[in-house]
Amino acid sequence: MDSKLQLLTQIAQGVAVHFGSQCEVVIHDLRGENMESSIVFIENGQVSNRKIGDGPSEIVLETLKKDPDLLKDRLSYLTRTEDGRILKSSTMYIRGNDNTVDYILGLNYDITGLLTIENAVKSLISTGETAGDHNREPKKITHNVNDLLDTLIEQSVALVGKPVALMSKDDKVQAIQYLNDAGAFLITKSGDKVSSYFGISKFTLYSYMDANKEKA
């Protein structure tokens, strides 16, 4: 274990103990070639039902696709587990000497119970007025890259707003662009699954990706 990971592990253990069993602290190692097993440390993994050796989150794939100079820590946003619990999450990028991201330190605090209490209180004090945007869908936390790819495909279809059977070429190009930007094609054999799902050949898939580059 290198000194940076050792320090991160020490911090992760301290944070997990400080905030208790509802606070998951996870470290992703982005230095290796096998991104499908990016989790190298996790405390309170029961929060998302993940463990060491599990695959990357959607945030990790986005990180690998973006210019490191443009990345900023994402603090206090909502995510959702596979069993429907809501988490308050933060993602911090730990950089190396060349400014590349070596590790990701993630915090995921289960606020499901607190939201239940909040809703009960709101029902008592509500005046019928609404404020703010509370409809944003939290990102789903998955266990492995296959589940993550399925989630990204679902999101691409939702973005287009129509089932694949009714999609035009431009619709499919838009969906492929979304998947490419999200880092979906960093997942091993994702091209085969995406091609099959959208009913196109691998050659067509690559041409759609190239078409998007030309538009950029």
Range of the domain at 149: 144-215
CA angle 55, 191, 137 (to 5 degrees): 55
Q: Is residue 120 part of a domain?
A: no
Same domain, 154 and 201: yes
101 neighbors 74 (Cβ within 8 angstroms) = no
Instruction: Report the CATH number that the domain containing residue 17 is assigned in CATH.
Output: 3.30.450.20
Q: Dump strand ranges (E) for the chain.
A: 23-29, 39-43, 74-80, 86-95, 101-110, 139-140
Q: What is the DSSP letter of 100?
A: -
Q: Is residue 128 part of a domain?
A: no
Report the number of distinct structural domains present in the chain: 2
d(CA 210, CA 25): 38
What is the pLDDT at residue 80?
Answer: 87
Same domain, 72 and 165: no
Structure tokens at 86: 């809501």
Same domain, 108 and 205: no
What is the pLDDT at residue 127?
Answer: 64
Each residue's pLDDT expressed in tens, for the chain with a length of 216 residues: 789 999 999 999 999 999 999 999 999 999 877 778 899 999 999 999 999 999 888 888 888 888 888 899 999 999 888 888 889 999 999 998 888 999 999 999 999 888 888 777 777 776 655 544 444 567 777 767 888 888 889 889 988 888 888 889 999 999 998 898 888 888 888 999 999 999 999 899 988 888 756 554
149 neighbors 190 (Cβ within 8 angstroms) = yes
Nearest by Cα to 208 from 169, 180, 173, 178? 173
Q: Is residue 75 part of a domain?
A: yes
Structure tokens at 151: 């989630």
Burial bucket for residue 89 (CB in 10 Å: 0-12, 13-18, 19+):
buried
